[in-house]
Amino acid sequence: MVNETNLTKFFNASVKETDPEVSSIIKSEIKRMAEGLEMIPSENVVSLSVLNALGSVFTNKYSEGYPHKRYYGGNENADSVESLAIERAKKLFGVPHVNVQPYSGSPANLAAYFAVCEPGDTVMGLNLPDGGHLTHGWKVNFSAKYYKSVPYHVKPDGYIDLDEVKKLALENKPKLIWCGATAYVREFPFEELGQIADEVGAYFAADIAHVAGLIVGGAHKSPVSHAHIVTTTTHKTLRGPRGAMIMVTQKGLDKDAELAQKIDKAIFPGLQGGPHDHQTAAIAVALGEALKPEFADYAKQIVKNNITLGKTLMDNGIKLVTNGSDNHMQLIDLTQYGKGKGVFVQNALDAAHITVNKNTIPSDPSTPFYPSGIRLGTPAITSRGMKEMEVTLIGKWIAEIIKEIAPAYDLPEDKTKAQYIESVNPEIKQNAVVQRVKQNVMQLCSKFPLYATLDY
């Protein structure tokens, strides 16, 4: 017989009571984030409200289908929270149709293909080493395995080569053209790409995952009047939980009156089963936050901080792709110190509690796994309240570490790269400049507390 007292206690216990091992790991992650600078541009820190919604009882529910058209009972509250998220997204982005069920960004993009393309159709997107996204036609991804991918590129100055895009589109007559990126630091040319798509009769999909928060905050132009489909993640600059949305614009409905239904059918039952209702609830909370006037100030501050970061880096002798940025990220070109230096600088900054990621640069002389660049940005530090004064300090610290570490280590040409990196990591971590910057970072972070009330 079940002991009701023990059962009640089990369902009301905290993680630290039921699983001290996981509790310890979570606390370590909170400490890591609180004592460091999260500067990977695709990362952010969400509010406690978003965290609470993500951990809500909606994680218990199955709700295959769409609001008021479910395959399970007991979905009146799931219907309400999903409908609320949809209406908030429509208002924020100014679109007639939104699907909030994609599990994440790549599945959302897959659904866009599934809705408007047949296997073997020609598609175009920005080349991955030039800053594009895997799902926009990179050779190892489904988008190039099931479709004919014709990538376009950036010019030597780092800006998208619109003349090449038009030439390739006229020659190849793609079914779908993507705009979007993982490492493109300038404002997207939505209008120009939309015109090219119209000229060749292609669908134009804008993947705004990185800049969605900037768009709704008025810090980046919107693709809505130029694209047929808009996809986005809900984390990054939108500052929500990990998830995604697909939007159909009025231009999309004018091109294909059934496009909204095709998108919805592509998600369910085409690609996914039951939606993650706890994720939907957290997305609704994040969208509610983005509707508040102060979010526009936040979005604009991200860009102000990023411009300050770029200027500081360049003033301290660091080379940037396109010599700056219009959005939330910078791409550091380390080739003045040699090729493949990104991993050393990433590891050194990580040891100094500054989290960035190694990244390819346009025409990178090295490989994607050992690239010659660093990608970094300002969403998360802006969420913590840091402004230009703090960012100027951070930029100087980053430049110090780059100039200390990048010239000091060279990748071997043979297959011992991984072993060599591992062998020099302890030395990098104990480097005097790295240790000094680490102490400065921790002191700065202590002035901007993060998740101080969380107890797992």
Alpha carbon 115 to chain centroid distance?
23
Q: Which of 207, 264, 277, 333 is catalytic?
A: 207
C-alpha distances in Å from residue 21, one per residue of 8, 12, 360: 22, 18, 37
CB 186 within 8 A of CB 325: yes
Q: Which of 186, 236, 255, 358 is catalytic?
A: 236
C-alpha distances in Å from residue 13, one per residue of 19, 213, 382, 431: 10, 36, 34, 44
Q: Which of 135, 182, 232, 233 is catalytic?
A: 233
Q: Which of 35, 43, 64, 256 is catalytic?
A: 64
Kindly state the tokens that stand for 432.
């005097």
Q: Which of 27, 90, 166, 242 is catalytic?
A: 242
Whether 236 sits among the annotated catalytic residues: the reply is yes
Cα–Cα distance for residue pair 289/293, rounded to 1 Å: 9
Whether 207 sits among the annotated catalytic residues: the reply is yes
Whether 71 sits among the annotated catalytic residues: the reply is no
Whether 289 sits among the annotated catalytic residues: the reply is no
Q: Which of 16, 19, 43, 62 is catalytic?
A: 62
Task: For strands 176-179 and 203-207, give the pairing.
Answer: parallel
SS3 333: strand
Q: Where are the alpha helices (DSSP H) in 69-226?
A: 76-93, 105-116, 142-145, 162-172, 190-200, 212-216
In 3D space, the residue among 257, 172, 265, 189 whose CA is nearest the CA of residue 227 turns out to be 189
CB 243 within 8 A of CB 282: yes
Kind plus residue range of the DSSP H or E element containing 429? helix 417-429
CB 121 within 8 A of CB 147: yes
Cα–Cα distance for residue pair 368/444, rounded to 1 Å: 33
Cα–Cα distance for residue pair 125/178, rounded to 1 Å: 5
Count the alpha carbons within 13 Å of 348 in the hemisphere toward its beta carbon: 28
Whether 456 sits among the annotated catalytic residues: the reply is no
Whether 233 sits among the annotated catalytic residues: the reply is yes
Active centre residues (catalytic): 62, 64, 207, 233, 236, 242
